[in-house]
Amino acid sequence: MPIRRPGRILRFDQRGVALPMAMIGLLILTALVLAFSLLSSTEPIIAGNQLRVAQARSVAEAGLERAAWALTHPAEPGGIPDPLPTPVPAPYNGNQLVNVAVNGATLGGFRVTVTAGAGPTERNVTSTGWVPNDTASGKAKQRITATLVKLRFPDPPAALAVRGVLEIKGSVDIDARQDTTCGNKAGTWSAQTTTTQGSAKVWGADGNNTQNQSTDIIQNVPLPTFDQHVLTDAEIDALRSYAKSHGTYYQGDVTFNASNKMPNGLIFVDTYSGQNISQEGITPATPDSDMASVDIHGNAAADPSGIFKGWLFVNGSLQISGNFEMYGFIYAQNDMTYTGTGNGQVWGAAMTRNIRDTSYTSVDTNLGGNAFILYDCQKAKTGGGFIPQTWTIKSGSYKEVSG
């Protein structure tokens, strides 16, 4: 009788395994074929849905752009008047579907609503895009909300407006006679007294061409009257956001000179904390150490012409000395000292808030020097062409809401 070896007993007999393995492979292959078939039938649907959603978003953006255009062109047919009327006219009340066409074919439509914002220079916009429209089955919907802001020019009533005491001395010229396109402006406006010394000359656009008269130098303006022209905290926030987005935001003590040039546009020099200076009577009061301090010396403009073109906002005090030329608008939250030399001059307007009244605003010149503030409405309003007079999206307010 033959004896079986244990090793042979333990060996796996592979005979007959081919058929089960083939069946398993066929089963896997069948599953893959079914899966690919399912994907091939659903992918076009998914892709079509994604396309319609993207198109609806584009249509909603078209509604937002339409609202921005209408706010920027209030006098045009289809524009939105400023201040915002009640009720808001169609199609900006959301009651009308505005069709959007591409290459002559209607892509979809939007409904847009414009309402008043937190301040006079803010508008809230909601734009909803639909593809193919807002009644079709299988329609796609996307909604965009945003706050639009406008950089408001305060339109000061004089070439130099000071909410406090003003002292003018030396060989200073402040002249508002050259430009009356925005009305007849005074030479200076002050909420307290104004004094002139030496050969200082102040002319207003009063038609008599005589200097330093009561119609040239307006004094002791009531604070409520003056405050109609100051910037609100909301407007200052808008300026801050704009400067940050354009790389012209600074903080604390800043010196502009031949080594640190001033780029054209809106320059915003903020407090050390980045917070607005508290108003009079509000506690806790902003400490003096938190306020910005800006010094401008000669040859500070980065523009090849040697002239800075734009707006300069200082959340604190401003000192100008030397041969500095500018087209635009100066706004200092506290006080300003201007000691000019050479051919230095400001074409536009200047305004100081004197929010802490730590010192009076003075316009001075060195002996033999010159300092000019020459009123020019368009240069002040547009910063020599570098400040947009349009409504733009407020930083951080743009949101997309899926339908």
Closest residue by Cα to residue 379 from 124, 91, 179:
179
Closest residue by Cα to residue 71 from 377, 389, 355:
389
Q: What is the pLDDT along the chain (403 residues), one digit of tens a residue?
A: 555 555 555 555 566 677 778 788 888 888 887 777 666 666 666 666 788 899 999 999 999 999 999 999 999 999 999 999 999 999 999 999 999 999 999 999 999 999 999 878 899 999 999 999 999 988 999 999 999 988 889 999 999 999 999 999 888 999 999 999 999 999 999 999 999 988 899 999 999 999 999 999 999 999 999 999 999 888 898 899 889 989 999 999 999 999 999 999 999 999 999 999 998 778 888 999 999 999 999 899 999 999 999 999 999 999 999 899 999 999 999 999 998 887 889 999 999 999 876 567 888 655 445 789 999 999 999 999 999 888 988 878 999 987 6
At residue 206, φ and ψ (nearest 5 deg) are -100, 0
Query: What was the pLDDT predicted at 358?
Result: 55
Query: What was the pLDDT predicted at 119?
Result: 79
Instruction: Tell me the residue length of the chain.
Output: 403
Query: What was the pLDDT predicted at 343?
Result: 80
Query: What was the pLDDT predicted at 215?
Result: 96
Helix (H) / strand (E) containing 240: helix 233-245
Q: How far apart are CA 363 and CA 162, in angstroms?
A: 11
Q: How far apart are CA 343 and CA 309, in angstroms?
A: 16
Query: What was the pLDDT predicted at 138?
Result: 86
DSSP result, 329-366: EEEESS-EEEEE-TT-EEEEEEEE--SS-SS-EEEEE-
Structure-block tokens of residue 369: 């020097």
Closest residue by Cα to residue 157 from 315, 389, 375:
375
Residue boundaries of the structural domains of the chain: 50-151+391-402, 158-382
Give the other-Cβ count within 10 Å of 307's Cβ: 16
Query: What was the pLDDT predicted at 262?
Result: 98
Query: What was the pLDDT predicted at 368?
Result: 43
